[in-house]
Every structure is written in C-alpha cells, then in structure tokens.
Amino acid sequence: MNLIDAHCHLNTRSKAKMILALERGASFLSINTDIPFFDPIGEQEAVVLDLKRDFPEQVRYMGTFSSAGFGNNSWLANTIDQIKKTVDNGATGIKIWKNFGMELRDKSGQFVMVSDERLDPVFDFLSMNKIPLIAHIGEPRNCWLPLEQMTVDSDRNYFTKHPEYHMYLHKEFPDYLAQIGARDQVLEKHPDLVFIGAHFGSMEWDLTEVGKRLELYPNFYVDMAERICHVQLQGMEHREMVRDFFIRYQDRIIYGSDVIDSFFDHEDQAAARFDALWSYHWQYFSSEDIMEAEEFEGEFQGLGLPTEVLEKLFVINAAKIYGFKN
C-alpha cells in the first residue's frame, strides 16, 4: 500500500516515522500552523526542512504566516514577504488556521473572519502565483453543541482539553454558519485559488454539504484529516450515499491522518500511530469488512472502493496538488 499522508504535523526530527515511511512506501505532507500550542512558525519550518533534506522524496510541507499584528500598516507587506520566503525555502503551499474567525479580533473588537477584505491581497498573491492554500476554518459542527450531545468521542475529548475553542461555551463568537459562510465568500471572490478545505472543509457532519461546494467551486478540494470517523458514522445508515460520494468526487478528495508527532512521549509511539491509522483507513476504504471505530459505538461496513478511486484518494490527488512524485 503506497500512500501520501497529506495532512500531518512533523514537529520533531525523530526518525522512526521516516523509517516507517520508507518501509511502507509512504510520504508526508507536513503542515506548519500558526497555533498557540505548537512551536513558533520558524522552528516548525526548521524541523521540517531538516527532514526534507534527509528524506527528499518522503517529505513536502505547507508553510504558513503569522496573524500577529493583523491590521497594522506593515502586516500585509510582512505577510507577503513571509510567504515568499517559505515558498523559496521549499514550501509547496500555505496554511491558514481557525484563528481567523475564532480568535483574532481587530482594533474595534470585531472578529476577523477569513472573508475579511484585508486578507484579499494575500489570497490574490497566492492565486496569481499558483500557490495552493489549505484552510482550517471553523470547526466540526459538534463544536457548537454541549459535550454530551457531540457525535464522536474525538471531538468530545478535544473540546474538553481546549474549552477556549468549544464554541458552545462562547456564545459571543461567530456561529458555525458564519464560519462556513465566510469560507464560501473566499471561494466566490477567488475562483482561481486552489483551495483545500482541511477536515472536509468543516462540513464533516454531512457529505452532501461537502458535495454542494465541490459542485459550486471547481478549484475547491477537501482533505479527510481527523474526520474519517464522521464519514464512518454516516455510513452506518447511509453506506451507499457515502460510497457514491467518494466515487463521484474521487478527483477532489485527499487522504490525511492529522497525526501530530510531538504529542507522543516516544518516537516509536508516533510511528506506531501512523502505521495503525494508515492500515485502518486503508481497510475502511478498500474492503467490505465489518468494522468498528474508537470514536463511537456500533458497526459499519467498509466502502470497498475501486482501485482507481483508492489510488486517487491516497496518492494521485495529493501528488498533483502538492508536487510529489507518484
């Protein structure tokens, strides 16, 4: 099984995951992120550049930019300069995170949504230079529900650990539809921008909503990172709908695990997590086995997708967008 894990975070220089990748015929797209519980952006980039130097065929990465100082006179010029530098260093694209819409406020106290016109020059620069953008905007719809009403344990656990992002507790923040609407405005304003909606574009709860955007926006793609359990949950009752979705949009969906290697005490644990998820996810998409998930109770059947669809989901689509050899 060859694959590209096109959404993970290689935040350490540990070698166990790289040895695994060589053994499994796998490659990584590591995504640098302007996130408070990661190392600073420059340190993230230094780590992945070292890995990329040592394993040039196994590693690609997405750079990012800082939201600090947004709205200041120098912010835009500094941001464009930061993007130019990270692309010159070897980044294959740029990441924008949910701090736009869920954290950052301007001088007037208003939340800065991803559709803010002050971000348009950044998106125009990316579009003009054919630099892909991967965007984690908003959160799972569960984020706006009380913990006991969330549909999967992975969301319940995350928002228990990070109540600052549990929007059910923060009624003053923009709601779910505002987040998705702002993202859609970016897609409408920048139709030539190659835009990858991380985590099924935060529409994981209903694949029909994902499909609507894939129909409307030809340069919109989605990755599956950390949201496959939501697909499996839908597949318990609507397996054929889920299967048809992946076949219909086979050219627009990209595999990713969202493993963060720095969250493990030992490098072998991180490698084991990659290995387990890759095998489990491959089983789900490739077989018709009866399976269970760690995130919710109940059984479901694997999708048994055709070989040509599997190749696109796990290799070809990521290779095309992110510059891997396949």
Count: domains in the chain: 1
Burial class of 33 by CB neighbour count within 10 A (0 to 12, 13 to 18, 19+): buried
Structural domain harbouring 307: 3-322
Contact 193, 133 (CB under 8 A): yes
Q: Look at strands 290-293 and 296-301 and give their pairing.
A: antiparallel
pLDDT reported for residue 326: 60
Tens-level pLDDT at each residue, the chain (326 residues): 699 999 999 999 999 999 999 999 999 999 999 999 999 999 999 999 999 999 999 999 999 999 999 989 999 999 999 999 999 999 999 999 999 999 999 988 999 999 999 999 999 999 999 999 999 999 999 999 999 999 999 999 999 999 999 999 999 999 999 999 999 999 999 999 999 999 999 999 999 999 999 999 999 999 999 999 999 999 999 999 999 999 999 999 999 999 999 999 999 999 999 999 999 999 999 999 999 999 999 999 999 999 999 999 999 999 999 999 76
Q: How far apart are CA 289 and CA 286, in angstroms?
A: 9
Cα torsion 308, 310, 312, 315 to 10°: value is -120
> Residue 97's domain is classified under what CATH number?
3.20.20.140
Nearest to 167 by CA among 143, 151, 140: 143
Cα separation, 1 vs 213, in Å, equals 30
